[in-house]
Amino acid sequence: MCSPSLTSLLVLTGRNRQCTLDADTGNNIDLANPEHRCSLLKWLSDWRCRHLSEGQHRIASHSVLNWYQRDGASLFANKKPIWDLETHLLGNTKMDGISLNKVDKMAGLSFENGLRLHFDSILLFKNKSYPSAYFLSVLAIEEIGKAFLIMDFLWRSRVDGRMEREWEEKFLEDTYFHTAKQSSFAYNFDSPISTNRFFKSLYKGELEILKQNSVYVGLARNKRKINLKSRINNPLKIDKMKAQKQITNVNDCLLDLTLGVMKQVYCVDSDCVENLLNKRLLSKLKGKWSLIGGKTKTRLKKLERIKIDKVCALS
C-alpha cells in the first residue's frame, strides 16, 4: 500500500502537471488545436512517456490529430481526476515491489559503470594489453546492455502498471545473464534482426565465447563437454586489430546514442542515464578514441545537422 507521504507526493505531482496543462489549454483541451496538442505532448513527456522527445513532437502531433479526427467522437466522458480520489482508494495502488527510483538509479549506475569499463579498455589498449582490453570492452557491453534491460523494466512498470513481486524478480533476473545483456545491447543499438556481423555475434552468443577466450587458457567445449582434440585456446593471440575493432564498435554505438539523445532524436527511459548523455561525454568519447566507423561518421553528420526546436511549432 502507498504510505501517506508517498500518496501525497503522487497527488501533488499529478496536480501540478495537470494544472500546467489546464492553464495552457484554458481548462478545455481541444485536440484539433495545434497549440493544445503541443501542450498535451509536453505533459506526456513530463510523465516520461516513451518515444515522445521534444524533437518528435511535430510528428506525434499529426498522429494525435489523425487519431482524434477518426475516433474522437467515441471518447468516453471525463472522469474524476486522480487527486480527487479518496486516500484509501489510492492506497490500493500496488507499491510493494522494488522502488522505481531505485530501479532508475540502478540503470544509471550500470550505464556509468559500462562507460568506466569502456574507457578502461581504451587505456589497456594504449598500453598494448590487447586481450585484457578486449575483455573489458565486452564487459562494457554487458553493463550497458544491463542498463537497457533495467530501463525496459522501468518503461513497462510505468506504462503497463506494476507486476506482481515474483514477476518483477523474474524480469530482473536477466540482468544476471551475460548473453541476455549482450543481446539487450544489440537490440537497442541495432535491431532484433541484425545484418551487421558485430551485432550478430551478440545475438548468437559468439561474443561470450570470445570474451572467455580472451582471458582463459583451455580447450574448447561443446554442450558443456570438453573437446579433448581441440586446439589449446591462447588469450595472447588476441591481437591489436581484434581489440581495436571491438573497442571501435562500442565507441561508435555510444557516440551515436549520446548525440542522438542530445539532439532529441532518441530518448531513454531513465533520468539517471539521460543525465549522463551530454556534451561532456560526447567530447570524451571523441577525445579518448579517434577511430570511427564509416557508417557511424555518416550518421553523426546527419545528427549534427539537426536543429532542436525550442518551441513546439505545429501546424
Q: Which of 43, 26, 25 is nearest to 34 (CA)?
A: 25
Judge if 39 and 106 occupy the same domain: no
d(CA 121, CA 134): 7
Judge if 139 and 287 occupy the same domain: yes
- Please identify, among 62, 90, 118, the residue that sits at the C-terminal boundary of a domain: 90
Phi, then psi, of 218 in degrees rounded to 5: 175, -175
Contact 177/205 with Cβ under 8 angstroms?
no
pLDDT at 94: 45
Residue 233 DSSP label: B
Judge if 40 and 19 occupy the same domain: yes
pLDDT at 315: 32
d(CA 132, CA 216): 11
Judge if 157 and 266 occupy the same domain: yes
Greatest alpha-carbon span in the chain: 78
Overall domain count for the chain: 2
Judge if 28 and 166 occupy the same domain: no
d(CA 37, CA 30): 8
Judge if 164 and 202 occupy the same domain: yes
pLDDT tens digits along 47-104? 655 555 666 677 777 777 877 777 766 664 555 554 454 444 443 344 567 888 999 9
Q: Percentage of the chain surpassing pLDDT 90? A: 42
Query: Is 23 inside any structural domain?
Result: yes
- Please identify, among 59, 90, 121, the residue that sits at the C-terminal boundary of a domain: 90
Per-residue cell: 50: 516513451
Per-residue cell: 73: 467522437
Lowest mean pLDDT among 37-46, 129-138, 156-165: 37-46
d(CA 186, CA 182): 6
Amino acid at 105: K
Q: Which of 101, 104, 117, 293 is nearest to 189 (CA)?
A: 293
Domain enclosing residue 80, as ranges: 4-90
Judge if 121 and 147 occupy the same domain: yes
